[in-house]
Amino acid sequence: MVYLEVSRVYQIHQMGIKFLFPLAVSRFFSWDVVLLIFAFRVVVQILSYIFFLEYQSSIVSQEKKVRRIILHYPDDTPAGHIEYADGFSSIYDNEGNFLFKVEGKFPPPPKKSSDYSWIEKVLEKGLQDSRKRFILYVASRYLVNVKGIDEDVALNILKEFYYKLQSGKVYESWLKSVLNGVKKKGLLPWSLKRIEERDKEMYNEIMKALKNN
């Protein structure tokens, strides 16, 4: 066992851990210790370089996360900028003064308008089966909450749709209850994708009606 008196050490802090490496000794009893000290110095230089690269990489990665968007007035003059990072948008004026911060992208992208033309086609052509479910999840919601049609008018449209194929029976009281319920809750019609996922039978019937020219 070699006895050392360490007179100087090198400290490195990484990930909350402190590393101590001896750089010089005041007393030693073996030349192997000298080689050991030189080896430690080489290790220190290598680790320092690695830690430096990791630090530079972390700075670059943080910079990449910030997206800067330049704003303009309608006459194309500068109006400031937006910095988007970590799910938040920070808005600055043209002088670089912070104005406000909101969650998500600012301004929010315009919502795509839904295409309800297929519902009109189904109402016009009728369905062989799944008519009540179509009324409940699609037609009633479309007529009242999308088109804003009066409940009495919507009632007549639904009755006409149901009896296009002259089969089965639907009660007017049930239709009124459905229209009243979807209007109070503000329910929107199911999309074709949702119908395909939730009710394959109704989806197939709708596809038949849409393909039948």
pLDDT in tens, 59-92: 544 545 677 888 877 666 787 888 888 778 888 8
Query: What is the predicted pLDDT for the residue at 103?
Result: 78
User: Burial of 63 by CB count in 10 Å (0-12 exposed, 13-18 middle, 19+ buried)?
Assistant: exposed
Q: Residues 178, 184, 190, 195: what is their CA dihedral angle, to the nearest 10 degrees?
A: -40
CA 162, CA 123: separation in Å to the nearest integer?
9
State both tokens at 17.
Answer: 């851990």
Give the CA count within 13 Å in the CB-facing half-sphere of 46. 6
CA dihedral 73, 76, 78, 81 (to 10 degrees): 70
Nearest to 170 by CA among 136, 204, 121: 136
Instruction: Check whether 110 has a pLDDT greater than 70.
Output: no
Bigger pLDDT: 1 vs 142: 142
Are 210 and 122 within 8 A, CB to CB? yes
Per-residue pLDDT at 129 exceeds 80:
yes
pTM, 2 dp = 0.50
Mean pLDDT value across residues 118-129: 93
Q: How far is CA 60 from CA 69, 89, 100, in A?
A: 19, 20, 26
Q: Where are the domains of the chain?
A: 65-101, 114-209
- State the average pLDDT over residues 113-121: 86
Q: Give the pLDDT band (50/70/90) at residue 55.
A: low
Q: What is the mean pLDDT of the chain?
A: 77
Tell me the per-residue pLDDT of 160-205, one tens digit each, with 9 for 90 and over. 999 988 778 899 999 999 999 999 999 999 999 999 999 999 999 9
Model pLDDT, residue 36: 56
